[in-house]
A and B are shown apart, each in its own frame.
Chain A
Amino acid sequence: MLNPTRVSQGLLAWIEERIPVQAWIAASLHVTIPRSAHTFYLGGITLFCFVVQGTTGILLALYYQPTPETAYDSILVIMNQLNFGWLIRSVHAWSANLMIIFCILHLLRIVLQGAYKKPREITWLVGMGLLFLTLGFGFTGYLLPWDQRAFWATTVGTEIAGAVPFIGDFVRQFLRGGADVSAATLTRFFGVHVLVLPVALAGLLVLHLLLIHQQGLADPEGDENE
């Protein structure tokens, strides 16, 4: 008779013989953190918000329709007709705000603890990239419900980008995909929100975590090059 414990043990041994998974897990977990580096779990909570955004975002994308004719109605369907659709959209909206708040708090901790100093300058730059991408998520995601607030906030927001000297007109047209906020803007923002930004953010995130893992957390009580 098949014994589930023995089967799973056999399977694990089979994998372990080919790729040293246990050694990888051990190497990633068996590190230490300076007790004085009070992280307040800010970066980890930002990561958690990103996971929530990925999950709820995929769920929303299954029903959302990115055209000016149907976007608003598909949001109404999500909010009123689907089971827990209102909950998933509301969690997505709240988690977006929390993600930005925790990004900023995490940044403040790094500044006040001086954790960006040598040799961690690259981690800081990658982290700033993550912050900009997160703000990009907020800017593109805000248009998608295609209600009055979304439409006019995007109109004004892209207009502000148009005030940049010399390249302003080009930037505004580029962001809008045309002269005005239109169907082209909606599909453009949707594509950036669900394809470009998630891939870019996931890539930078892996780099950020790898650097932290390799260098360890900075000890705020010790000075650089300790």
Chain B
Amino acid sequence: MTEFTVKPIRRRKSIQLLLGFSFIATIGGVLAPIIAYLIPRENAAAYGGPSEVGAPEDFPLNSGKIVSVNDKPVIIVNTKAGGLKAFSAICTHLGCVVTWNERKGIIHSPCHDGLFNPVNGSVISGPPPRPLPQYELVVKEGKVLVGKPLGNIYGERSGE
């Protein structure tokens, strides 16, 4: 038979253990709800179907316009090469909202001069790491409707 060698636990020691455990348990019990409370709630403005952003006449050829879709900025561009397209207007570099560069006919981020292709959202030059995600866009009954982001929210890296 194996011989058990158990260290005897003294009463003082066990009381200390109990007190320490209940103290830590109390701290945890107080901190846990506080941390849970600090977690932001889900964005209330969740996707509620395609939203109307205007009529096709509002987006003439060689133009780009920022519209709000579910509280997020989206740029609607109309080019000869790509037609009417919708991209996220949040630059993938540092989150600035992009603008339409009339002269060059491309999407321009004002923060660090990132340039994006208005046909597929890919990065032409500058620091942005990823292309602009494209959004679903349909023209129905004389209305331009913007829906969900297409594919991966981060899009695909151009030239890969």
Contacts and interface: CB of A to CB of B under 8 A. Distances in A.
A84 B41 contact: no
Interface stretch (B14-22, B31-39, B66-74, B144-152): B31-39
B43 to A, nearest CB: 12
Nearest to A87: B33
A81 B36 contact: no
A77 B41 contact: yes
A83 B31 CA distance: 13
A112 interface: no
Nearest to A83: B36
A82 interface: yes
Contacts, number: 22
A59 interface: yes
A59 B41 contact: no
Contacts of A84: 33-34, 36-37
A87 B39 CA distance: 15
A123 B37 CA distance: 39
Looking at chain A's contact residues, the main secondary structure is helix
A81 B37 contact: no
A55 B41 CA distance: 20
A216 B107 CA distance: 73
Interface string A51-82: 00001000100100000000000000100011
Contacts of A59: 34, 37-38
A1 to B, nearest CB: 27
A35 to B, nearest CB: 25
Contacts of A77: 41
Contacts of B39: 83
A77 B37 CA distance: 11
A88 B41 contact: no
Interface of B: 33-34, 36-39, 41
Interface of A: 55, 59, 62, 77, 81-85, 87-88
22 contacts: A55-B34, A59-B34, A59-B37, A59-B38, A62-B38, A77-B41, A81-B41, A82-B37, A82-B41, A83-B33, A83-B36, A83-B37, A83-B39, A84-B33, A84-B34, A84-B36, A84-B37, A85-B37, A87-B33, A88-B33, A88-B34, A88-B37
Given A59-B34, A84-B36, 8 more contacts: A59-B38, A62-B38, A82-B37, A83-B36, A84-B34, A84-B37, A88-B33, A88-B37
